[in-house]
Amino acid sequence: NWKDKYNIWSGLIGGFFLALSYFGTDHSQVGRYISAKNVAVIPLTSDLGSVMGVIVAHRADSFTKNDIDMFSSDGKIGSAFKLGLTKEMQHQDSITDKLTRLKNRCGMDEYIKSSTLDRLLNKETVCTAMCDIDHFKLVNDTYGHDAGDKVLRHVAETLKEQIGEAGEVFRQGGEEFVVLFNKSLENTVLEAEKIREA
């Protein structure tokens, strides 16, 4: 789940150093706020009451109750962060394929604009591999679409495992995947063959 890795650092705002970070899965120990002299950790809760993230604030002197209230989910600063986090979560959801949890075509376009173009402008190599599952229609026709979905998820997981840090994988649509490699053509061909075998 992308939220497990989610991390936003904002910088200096109004004299406070703020950090927004996903808390993890066990929220049972999170109270109204935790304060130690000049550090405050304030959970941001969704409208349903689950913890979406946490604001970590730091200042030179001690926090007042008014300061903490501004950072709470209903306070001015907390509301702004909550809105920003909600919008980012919705955006990430819109560029992620629901079945495989890979980035979809919109996510690929965004990745190309933000990462690949910079590599190309710096005259670094980027290679593309198109992946297609052979006889996939036969799987759906023989075993049903639930089995086909399992195959798609398994192929997506295998692609991610095989590629690791060497590139990015996307679901183009149907049974088609795209892999962008940050490697030379020769190394990409070798990597693509290992992926195919896997």
| Phi, psi for 186 (deg, rounded to 5) | -60, -45
In angstroms, the CA 166 to CA 153 distance is: 20
User: Of residues 110, 165, 175, 191, which has the active-site annotation?
Assistant: 175
Tokens (6 digits) for 94: 């819109």
Q: Cβ contacts of residue 160 below 8 Å, gap of 6+?
A: 102, 169
Residue 191 annotated as catalytic:
no
Q: What type of residue sits at position 12? A: L
Let me know: does 69 contact 40? Beta carbons within 8 Å: no
Catalytic positions, please? 175
